[in-house]
Amino acid sequence: MKAMVLAAGRGERMGDLTVVRPKPLLDVAGVPLIEHHVRRLAASGVAEIVINLSYRGTQIRERLGDGGRFGLSIAYSEEGEPALETGGGIVQALPLLGSEPFLLVNSDIYTEFDFATLIARPELALVLVPNPPHNPKGDFGIDAAGRVSAAAPLWTYAGIAVFSSRMFAGLAPGRRALKPLLDAAIGRRELAAVKFDGVWLDVGTPERLEDARRIALRS
């Protein structure tokens, strides 16, 4: 299974931390956020990664290169500026991702989730976590059959998923949010729910970056 790591966002809530470098290169325990994911994906058996680039993307390319030192290959989907948002970024990268299901990971999370658990599953899925303080109302529910639903109680989308190119078939290139596409897939009952209650942080603010650093040092 190929993986796509989302790395095009600027991370404006990080303030001065992202003035001269992109958010995916902010370090946690001496390693850039995005590199944590690349290493864990490689350890899970992923051989090919696609990374979308926009804000200061050259720095990400220079840091990770072709992926050889991690034991996999990395291809880059250049979006230019402004970034295409998550949905648009995926559509742009589809020629690199191919027709098989692919693993999607937001670069701006810190987690100990085992990607191999998704690689072993043949179905499309969203990983859901207990609602953190910054998202107390949650995003999606889970029905009795274990599918993602819109019904309460709601969990938070972890920024980790398995998608297929057919979810994006026929969409024109350009800026596009992911949420409407997820809602449509949920309406078709296409997405399995994978619950995870281990280490996971949305590294969206300087304070949560410090939280991730403290957790990483204890691991």
| CATH code reported for the domain at 3-218 | 3.90.550.10
For 134-139, which contacts have Cβ atoms below 8 Å and span 24 or more sequence positions? 134/202, 134/204, 134/205, 134/208, 135/202
pLDDT digit string (tens) for 27-48?
999 999 999 999 999 999 999 9
Instruction: Please report which confidence band the pLDDT of residue 216 belongs to, taking 50, 70 and 90 as the band edges.
Output: very high
| Confidence class for position 134, pLDDT limits 50, 70, 90 | very high
pTM assigned to the model: 0.96
- pLDDT at position 171 over 90: yes
* Contacts for 72 with CB less than 8 Å, ≥ 6 apart: 38, 41, 42, 46, 47, 48, 49
Q: Where are the beta strands (DSSP E) in 7-155?
A: 27-28, 31-32, 48-53, 73-78, 102-106, 109-111, 125-129, 141-142, 148-149
Q: Is the pLDDT assigned to residue 87 strictly greater than 90?
A: yes
Q: What share of the chain is helix, strand, coil (3-state, %, to 5)?
A: 35, 25, 40
Tell me the pLDDT band of 122, cut-offs 50, 70 and 90: confident
